């Protein structure tokens, strides 16, 4: 081996999984409503938990969540993280805030972005609202909501986030 | 929800992990030599020559440091015919995945044999390396093996 030549130290070993994703009945109903600009959860007939995104059945009771509940654009920050590390091909530039959000009337949180606020001001209990993209850009995706931004409302006490009213 | 949207949604999906693996001094040396169109293995304490080279001696668990160049000809020890290559296969015509033991090596390595048709494949057949047009330090610098 000639010493002046550069030694190989790395090897590209990409892995691609190509498959067909089928949403299933409950998620299809949820995504179809997102396509119409609506956030719709599904309620357990037994314990009244509202799931968003819905799973089709209640994790606690094991019964189908057939009733749909339209939620507003308002939500509460349940937890959050500030992301500093860039993800390849992700157009969002760090640092940005990604949060577990509890939609009003829901008992299950979903992940989304928080923007229009100093990252340092984001806190658990903060009230936020969804900012939707222009209607012509809506698809069957949570990305129809561009981000959530703070609402001018008092914080929600931590132990009330996502709790059933009469539980 | 309108009844026209009651059909279950599905769509094609691709999950990609764009890994770069670090090769270390042994595999790195193997790949570096491939770039120069040479195949090297290394010699363990009992004299066994491994191609591709092994990082540690299977008997003593010591590092193996003695590299040896082997021939670019070898023998097919066993093989499996791929009659209908998929899009991700590196050869797009029917070929064989084969364990090829290079002359000078004591263990076979997995690679591809382009024999044209299954009738030309035989356990024990002689094959030789078909080099890629441009080598870059990757196992695909060996494009495949062909009947010798
Ligand atoms: Zn329930």
What pLDDT, on the 0 to 100 scale, is given for residue A89? 77
Of A17, A25, A32, which is closest to B14 when you measure between CB atoms?
Answer: A17
Residue B60 confidence (pLDDT) above 70: yes
Concatenating the DSSP letter of every residue in A6-59 gives PPP-EEE--EEEEEEEE-HHHHHHHHHHHHTT--EEEE-TTT--EESS--SB-T
Mean pLDDT of B121-130: 98
Interface residue B48 vs chain A (CB under 8 A): no
What pLDDT, on the 0 to 100 scale, is given for residue A143? 94
Q: How confident is the model at residue B18 (pLDDT cuts 50, 70, 90)?
A: confident
CA separation for the pair B61, A74 (Å, rounded): 62
For chain B, what is the total number of helices (H) and then of strands (E)?
Answer: 1, 10
Q: How confident is the model at residue B2 (pLDDT cuts 50, 70, 90)?
A: very low
**pLDDT tens by residue, A137-158:** 999 999 999 999 999 999 999 9
Q: How confident is the model at residue B3 (pLDDT cuts 50, 70, 90)?
A: very low
CB B30 within 8 A of CB B64: no
Residue A41 alpha carbon to ligand 1 centre in Å: 13
**pLDDT tens by residue, A85-139:** 988 778 889 999 999 999 999 999 999 999 999 999 999 999 999 999 999 999 9
CA separation for the pair A52, A38 (Å, rounded): 12
ipTM: 0.80
CB B56 within 8 A of CB B62: yes
Q: How confident is the model at residue A163 (pLDDT cuts 50, 70, 90)?
A: confident
Residues whose CB falls within 8 Å of the CB of residue B47, separated by 6 or more in sequence, listed in order: none
Q: Which chain residues have CB less than 5 Å from ligand 1, an ion?
A: A 44, 46-47, 58, 60-61
The more confidently predicted of residues B123 and A55 is: B123
Mean pLDDT of A11-34: 93
Evaluated on CA atoms A19, A24, A27, A31, the torsion sign reads positive
What pLDDT, on the 0 to 100 scale, is given for residue A105? 93
CA separation for the pair B2, B119 (Å, rounded): 59
Backbone angle region of A47, left / alpha / beta, with phi > 0 → left and psi within -120 to 50 → alpha: alpha
Among all residues of chain A, which has the CA nearest to that of B18?
Answer: A14
Q: How confident is the model at residue B88 (pLDDT cuts 50, 70, 90)?
A: confident
Q: What is the mean pLDDT of chain B?
A: 94
Token pair belonging to A6: 């550069």
Mean pLDDT of A19-29: 93
What pLDDT, on the 0 to 100 scale, is given for residue B6? 60
Among all residues of chain A, which has the CA nearest to that of B69?
Answer: A1
**Partner-chain contact A9 B13, CB within 8 Å:** no
**pLDDT tens by residue, A51-86:** 999 989 999 999 999 999 999 999 999 999 999 998
Mean pLDDT of B104-122: 97
Residues whose CB falls within 8 Å of the CB of residue A33, separated by 6 or more in sequence, listed in order: A39, A40, A68, A70, B1
Tokens 């595999």 identify what position?
B27
From the candidates B2, B6, B8, B69, which should be mutated to test the interface with A, based on the most A CB atoms within 10 A?
Answer: B8
Residue A102 alpha carbon to ligand 1 centre in Å: 17
Residue A57 alpha carbon to ligand 1 centre in Å: 8
Tokens 């959530």 identify what position?
A148
Backbone phi, then psi, for A119, in 5-degree steps?
Answer: -55, -35
Q: What percent of chain B has pLDDT over 70?
A: 96
* Residue numbers in B near A18 (CB within 8 A): 12-14
Residue A5 confidence (pLDDT) above 80: no
B118: preceding bond cis by omega (within 30 degrees): no
Token pair belonging to B141: 């610098």
Based on the number of CB atoms within 10 Å of its own CB, is B137 exposed (0-12), middle (13-18) or buried (19 or more)?
buried
Residue A100 alpha carbon to ligand 1 centre in Å: 21
Q: How confident is the model at residue B1 (pLDDT cuts 50, 70, 90)?
A: very low
Which pTM was predicted?
0.67
Q: Measured in whole angstroms, how far is the alpha carbon of residue B100 from the centre of its chain?
A: 9
Q: How confident is the model at residue A10 (pLDDT cuts 50, 70, 90)?
A: very high
């Amino acid at each position: 081996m000639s010493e002046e030549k550069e030694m190989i130290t790395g090897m590209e070993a990409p892995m691609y999984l190509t498959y067909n994703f089928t949403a299933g009945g409950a998620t299809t109903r949820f995504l179809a409503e997102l396509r119409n600009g609506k956030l719709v959860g599904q309620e357990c007939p037994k314990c009244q938990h509202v799931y968003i995104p819905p799973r089709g059945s209640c994790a606690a009771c094991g019964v189908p969540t057939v009733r749909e509940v339209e939620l507003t654009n308002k939500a509460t920050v349940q937890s959050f993280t500030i992301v500093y590390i860039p993800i390849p091909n992700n157009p969002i530039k760090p640092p940005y805030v990604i949060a577990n959000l509890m939609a009003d009337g829901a008992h299950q949180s979903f992940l989304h972005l928080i923007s229009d606020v100093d990252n340092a001001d984001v806190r658990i209990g903060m009230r936020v609202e969804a900012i939707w993209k222009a209607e012509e850009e809506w698809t069957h995706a949570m990305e129809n909501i561009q981000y959530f931004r703070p609402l001018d409302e008092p914080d929600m006490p931590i132990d009330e986030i996502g709790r059933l009213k009469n539980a | 929800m309108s009844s026209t949207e009651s059909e279950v949604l599905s769509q094609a999906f691709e999950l990609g992990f764009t890994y770069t693996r670090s090769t270390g001094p042994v595999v790195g040396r193997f790949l570096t030599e491939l770039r120069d169109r040479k195949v090297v293995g290394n010699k363990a304490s009992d004299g066994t020559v491994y191609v591709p080279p092994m990082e540690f001696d299977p008997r003593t668990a010591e590092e193996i440091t003695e590299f040896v160049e082997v021939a670019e000809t070898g023998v097919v020890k066993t093989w499996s015919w791929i009659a209908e290559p998929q899009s991700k296969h590196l050869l797009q015509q029917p070929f064989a995945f084969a364990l090829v033991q290079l002359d000078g090596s004591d263990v076979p390595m997995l690679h591809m044999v382009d024999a044209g048709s299954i009738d030309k494949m035989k356990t024990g057949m002689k094959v030789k390396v078909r080099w890629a047009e441009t080598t870059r330090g990757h196992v695909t610098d060996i494009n495949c093996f062909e009947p010798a």
